[in-house]
């Protein structure tokens, strides 16, 4: 049976219907009407011969009236490939109606060809991109400009802070000439390099050497266009025997920052009276009585004119007695707003014809007063010889 069924299969030509012969190979299930009829009417070999022909004719009439033709039931429309890349299904023939149930079978619908829609770019889309691209570029340039301006501003504001730090470190290393070079021209006009060096040395004697230079604190850094002001001030701390804190002002000249002023509270104790005392002593040693007279206060100058003052000093130190040096007693030094005092030892050498020379000291307390912004020597008070 399998061999015969294999012979019944073949490929259908396009447009050809599939037809099934009702008499070719029909198998009925045990519950079908045909099996029931066969069980009710056995084959002719089992029934009497006279009744066989009558029963067969009656069964044939009943079967033909109840069961529609298999050819009518098995007519199936086949898909037909037509031109193009799409697959379409055509129906052949009119709608079929089954004889048993009366159900009308509609032909299968024709499927449209599958296509992929490609939406071309419209002029509106291109115009939108042409508008957004410059906006994005401007935004990037703006952000970059802000960052660059902030960096330049921050770098510009760090320069004066570095200058203050360099100034403190030069003083700490006792590089007084380099520290003096960091001063502005107006500051240097007020004090010479020698005076600046002497002041720095006296500051170390009174307050101790600088042991540290913490980072200065000053104006904040902001993201803004433009350069910082030409004048800035930083809060600075110098670590000596104790911390000294105050402001240092800087000025910008031709793109370079310089020290314009140093607040006394950060410099330390005011040693300007000690500078006056040292200038007085040095002038006498050198025989520069005019410079020595210039250190006197107005009250002292009113006692004697410059010529008389010079003659008195020349008589005192121009013969056998010679002033060799002066020693300041820094422990005795005290200064107030308008007055100051310090003990000074005048180291004298007395020439003696018979025994050579004799070295001795004369201690005096020097008093100073502030006049017209400068410290002047106002009085001499000799101390007992025991202190010398």
- Tokens of residue 60, six digits: 């044939």
Place of tokens 């010479």: 192
Strands (E), 109-254: 231-239, 243-253
Last residue in a domain, options 267, 302, 332: 267
Rounded CA gap, 261 and 184, in Å? 9
Does residue 189 sit within a domain? Answer: yes
- Of 267, 300, 334, the last residue of a domain is 267
Q: Calculate the average pLDDT of the chain.
A: 75
Q: Would you say 333 and 340 are in contact if contact means Cβ atoms under 8 Å apart?
A: yes
* Same domain, yes or no: 165 and 245: yes
Same domain, 252 and 289: no
Considering the domain architecture, whether residues 371 and 280 belong to the same structural domain is answered as yes
Pairing of strands 339-352, 356-371: antiparallel
Beta carbons within 8 Å of 99's beta carbon, 6+ residues apart: 67, 68, 69, 72, 73
- Token digits for 242? 């104790």
The domain that holds 316 is classified in CATH as 3.10.450.100
Range of the domain at 259: 143-267
- Do 168 and 150 share a structural domain? yes
pLDDT confidence of residue 326: 95
List pLDDT tens digits, range 258-296.
999 999 999 999 999 999 999 999 999 999 999 999 999
Whether the predicted pLDDT of 30 surpasses 50: no
- Which of 80-89, 128-137, 312-321 has the weakest average pLDDT? 80-89
Q: Give the pLDDT score at 253.
A: 84
**Number of domains observed in the structure of the chain:** 2
- In this structure, what DSSP letter does residue 353 have? T
More confident residue, 388 or 162: 162
342 with 286, same domain: the answer is yes
Residue 107 located in a structural domain: no
pLDDT, mean of residues 87-109: 52
Residue 118 located in a structural domain: no
At residue 346, the 3 state secondary structure works out as strand
* 260 plus 298 within the same structural domain: no
Confidence of residue 244 (pLDDT cuts 50, 70, 90): very high
Cα(53)–Cα(73) distance, rounded to whole angstroms? 30
For 191, residues 6+ apart whose C-beta sits below 8 A from its C-beta are: 199
Do 287 and 350 share a domain, yes or no? yes
**Given pLDDT bands bounded at 50, 70 and 90, which one contains residue 215?**
confident
Tell me what the mean pLDDT of segment 251-259 comes to.
Answer: 90
CB hemisphere CA count around 137 (13 angstroms)? 6
Q: Is residue 52 over pLDDT 70?
A: no
- 376 or 59, higher pLDDT: 376
CA of residue 160 relative to chain centroid, distance: 21
Would you say 358 and 352 are in contact if contact means Cβ atoms under 8 Å apart?
yes
Asked whether residue 263 falls in the same domain as residue 173, the answer is yes
């Amino acid at each position: 049976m399998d061999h015969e069924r294999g012979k019944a299969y073949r490929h259908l030509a396009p447009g050809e219907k599939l037809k099934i012969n009702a008499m070719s190979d029909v198998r009925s299930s045990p519950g079908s009407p045909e099996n029931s009829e066969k069980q009710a009417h056995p084959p002719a070999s089992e029934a009497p011969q006279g009744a066989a022909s009558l029963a067969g004719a009656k069964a044939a009439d009943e079967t033909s009236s109840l069961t529609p033709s298999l050819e009518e039931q098995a007519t199936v429309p086949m898909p037909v490939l037509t031109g193009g890349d799409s697959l379409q299904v055509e129906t052949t023939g009119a709608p079929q109606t089954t004889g048993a149930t009366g159900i009308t079978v509609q032909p299968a619908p024709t499927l449209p060809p599958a296509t992929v829609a490609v939406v071309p770019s419209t002029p509106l889309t291109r115009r939108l991109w042409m508008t957004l691209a410059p906006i994005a570029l401007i935004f990037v340039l703006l952000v970059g400009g802000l960052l660059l301006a902030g960096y330049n501003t921050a770098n510009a504001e760090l320069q004066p802070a570095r200058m203050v730090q360099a100034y403190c470190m030069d003083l700490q290393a006792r590089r007084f000439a380099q520290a003096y070079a960091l001063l502005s021209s107006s500051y240097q006009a007020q004090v010479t390099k020698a005076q600046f060096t002497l002041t720095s040395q006296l500051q170390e004697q009174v307050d101790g050497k600088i042991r540290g230079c913490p980072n200065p604190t000053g104006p904040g850094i902001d993201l803004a266009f433009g350069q910082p002001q030409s004048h800035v001030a930083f809060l600075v701390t110098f670590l000596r025997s104790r911390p000294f804190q105050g402001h240092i002002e800087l000025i910008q000249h031709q793109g370079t920052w310089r020290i314009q002023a140093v607040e006394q509270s950060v410099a330390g104790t005011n040693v300007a009276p000690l500078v006056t005392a040292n200038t007085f002593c040095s002038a006498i040693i050198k025989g520069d009585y005019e410079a020595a007279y210039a250190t006197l206060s107005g009250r002292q100058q009113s006692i004697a004119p410059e010529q008389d003052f010079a003659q008195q000093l020349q008589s005192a130190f121009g013969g056998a007695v010679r002033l060799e040096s002066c020693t300041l007693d820094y422990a005795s030094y005290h200064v107030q707003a308008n007055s100051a005092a310090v003990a000074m030892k005048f180291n004298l050498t007395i020439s003696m014809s018979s025994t050579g020379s004799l070295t001795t000291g004369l201690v005096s307390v020097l008093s100073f007063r502030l006049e017209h912004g400068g410290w002047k020597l106002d009085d001499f008070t000799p101390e007992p010889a025991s202190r010398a």
